[in-house]
A = this chain, B = another copy of it.
Amino acid sequence: MRRIKWIRLLTVISTLLLAMSVSAQDKELTLQELIPGGKNYSRFVPKELKQLNWCGERYFYVKGDSVWGAKPERKEQVLFTREQLNQALTQAGLPTVGKLPTFKVPFAQDTHSTVLAFNSHAHQIHFDYQKQKVTADYALKSAWSNLDFCTANQYFAYTNGNNLFLLSPKGDTTIVTNEQEEGIVCGQAVHQREFGITKGTFWSPQGNALAFYRMDERMVTTYPLVNIDSRCATLVPHKYPMAGMKSHEVTVGIYQLATGKTIWLKTGLPKEKYLTNIAWSPDERSIYLIELNREQNEQHLVRYSAETGEREAVLITESDHRYVEPQHPILFLPNDPNKFIWQTEADGYNHLYLFDTDGNELRKLTGGEWVVTRVLGFSEAGDKLIIEGTAPHPVSPSMHSNGLSRYVWAVNLKEQEIMNCLSWKVGVHSWKLSPSGAYALDNVSSSTVPREIDLIQVKEAKVVRTLLTAPDPYKGYRMPKIQTGTLTAADGKTKLNYRLTLPPDLDPNKKYPTIVYVYGGPHAQLVTGDWMHGVRGWDIYMALRGYVLFSVDGRGSANRGHAFESVIHRNLGVNEMADQMQGVAFLKSLPYVDADRIGVHGWSYGGFMTTNLMLTYPDVFKVGVAGGPVIDWSNYEIMYGERYMDRPQDNPEGYKNANLKLKAGNLKGHLLMIHGDVDPVVVWQHSLGFLKACVDANTYPDYFVYPRHQHNVVGKDRPHLHEKITRYFDDYLK
């Protein structure tokens, strides 16, 4: 009897333990955990080393109140503490900090630098952690923007309103431009930040001169944005050049610090063209631009005299029957000021070429059916270029093909297309090179590896030390199954990457509601070789709720070469939809997908795709949620829009075919359209115009607005957005 009781007790206990472990395994993720901006979201981002970076040849990161780091060959140690920083601040008569600030590296190319910079109380403070001393202190004003620090002369360039100024290390300010008329903007990024443009000031290598953009947009249409947060709503005029309309006119000035004079590059006529990818020659005597015609089918690498503004030479000219898209300034070899690296898709993939400054192509450095995604810098000896790219893994080339992987390579500058792999772990690598190029910090992840950070000795491609192995942040939670694979595009040949996210307890004999998450447009990739194949938090959430989630990167998406991406030219939507329908055909072949309950969701270009799919295949897609959607490309901006669609007057059929207002009468299922009321990218006119078209056509979309949000609903409201989207699918698709 007693024995039996014991056994019973043990059974009870083990059942309890089992229940506890199941319960631990079954912890449920919420939107607050899965969506960026959610209260607990940061806990589920794979662990990082905070602020990991190089300062001189030492790497450093922040841990609590200390900054840790080391030279690669040395042991890691505390470089300084907050207390020490505060002592130095007090000594300099500056207020102390309550927690360690975000550090910048003001002398990033200096292999010996021990100076970190940070902003505090409207000052930028330079702190030498070796000397434990404040070495510089710049008082900044809150009205100043676009601050650009020059390592060489230690000046700041900055803008105030629409004009450009300098702040000297002594604290003196200098006026560089003095434009009085509204609509002329100096020292800021131009051309809608397309063509790789992210800023408007460019210091010369020795700091003797500053190149800057001047944009005249007086002739550009103003889109009236409205701020409803003020006591009475106020107008926020927003210059927005729409496809086919008058564009802005950009010029480049060169301000010489010694003379205080500005000369202007003689970029001439037509005034409507794109001046992109500004690069200084190492001797500061020349400026190299990549000039692009408004049609965006011809680019020229042009050299201008930085002293006279004269147009000196056109070194390279390239054209394409669809479009060219320069995104990278030329890069001079550190050891030879007469040679530079040129990036182009001319052979169909983004590759590197070595040119001399007479415009001669010396050799092709990389080649093949893969793309260079990033140029990291040069090796210590300067004989190799360190790059990231989608070239297949040298050991297991079948793994992570089709643009899923990122490996790092040393490209031999002396030879044609010879490169060595520097990264061996399978997956996606992202490197930070040390100033000398001798070492690197390698952030690597894969579908099963959340994050590993290795310290690499570059020359021998050797892992010196593993700095971090991040644990699985979802351990203990109920998780969906993620499957990837390829399917064939509508052209009958191209392989496309797809990702399926399945309910954890998927029963193949049941039928599940299925949602296609789509983007579809250029410059984007949804399915990656990264942690969990780049699955989105909302995909996880919906799979946990019993939906099948699906994404496929159709033709038109990024990192697969020019032909793959540019197939969308002049006919946005057509080939992208054809490939999404290949995805749908695949879904229908799966026993557990309920073909009568297929939905679709996407934002921006994906909002265009979602709406277009709902209207073009009203019997396939029962429910759609389209966010910030482009509805009519003639209401989109010139730089991005005309690249893919040409001007409306030159491509009336393509614009008509892609104008979703003309298809509003096809709406059959449930379509929820969502827009931010101050979206400066896809202006509100798009979705409002679509509503009007639906009212005219007697169809019934649903609608929601996120007030005070721009093109994306970000921050704390993003979980609300996803709850809203979830409810909509629950109401109509579940």
Contacts and interface: CB of A to CB of B under 8 A. Distances in A.
Interface of A: 221-224, 226, 228-229, 231-235, 237, 240, 242, 245, 634-635, 677, 683-685, 688-689, 691-692, 695, 698, 700, 702-708, 717, 720, 723-724, 727, 731
A498 to B, nearest CB: 32
Given A223-B233, A229-B692, A232-B635, 18 more contacts: A221-B231, A221-B232, A223-B232, A224-B233, A224-B235, A228-B688, A228-B689, A232-B245, A233-B683, A235-B237, A688-B705, A689-B707, A691-B704, A692-B707, A700-B720, A702-B704, A705-B705, A731-B731
Contacts of A231: 221, 242, 245, 634
Give the copy number: 2
A707 B727 contact: no
A688 B677 contact: yes
Chain A residues touching B, majority SS:
mixed
Contacts of A242: 231-232
Given A688-B707, A700-B727, A723-B700, A226 B228 contact: no
A724 B245 CA distance: 36
Given A232-B242, A233-B223, A242-B232, A691 B707 contact: yes
A229 B228 CA distance: 21
A677 B687 CA distance: 12
Contacts of A708: 692
Q: Which of A226, A704, A707, A717 has the most CB of B within 10 A?
A: A707
Nearest to A686: B228
Contact of A233 (B634, B684, B723): B684
A698 B724 CA distance: 10
Contacts of A689: 228, 707
A240 B702 CA distance: 30
B223 A224 contact: no
6 cross-chain pairs, A with B, having the tightest CB-CB distances, nearest first: A692-B707, A224-B235, A221-B232, A233-B685, A228-B685, A688-B707
B707 A695 contact: yes
Contact of A724 (B224, B684, B700, B723): B700
A321 B646 CA distance: 68
A222 B691 CA distance: 26
Contact of A720 (B237, B677, B685, B695): B695
Q: Which of A232, A240, A634, A691 has the most CB of B within 10 A?
A: A232
A627 to B, nearest CB: 14
Nearest to A689: B228
Nearest to A683: B233
A682 to B, nearest CB: 12
Contacts of A724: 700
Nearest to A227: B224
Nearest to A721: B695
Nearest to A235: B224
Contacts of A706: 691, 695
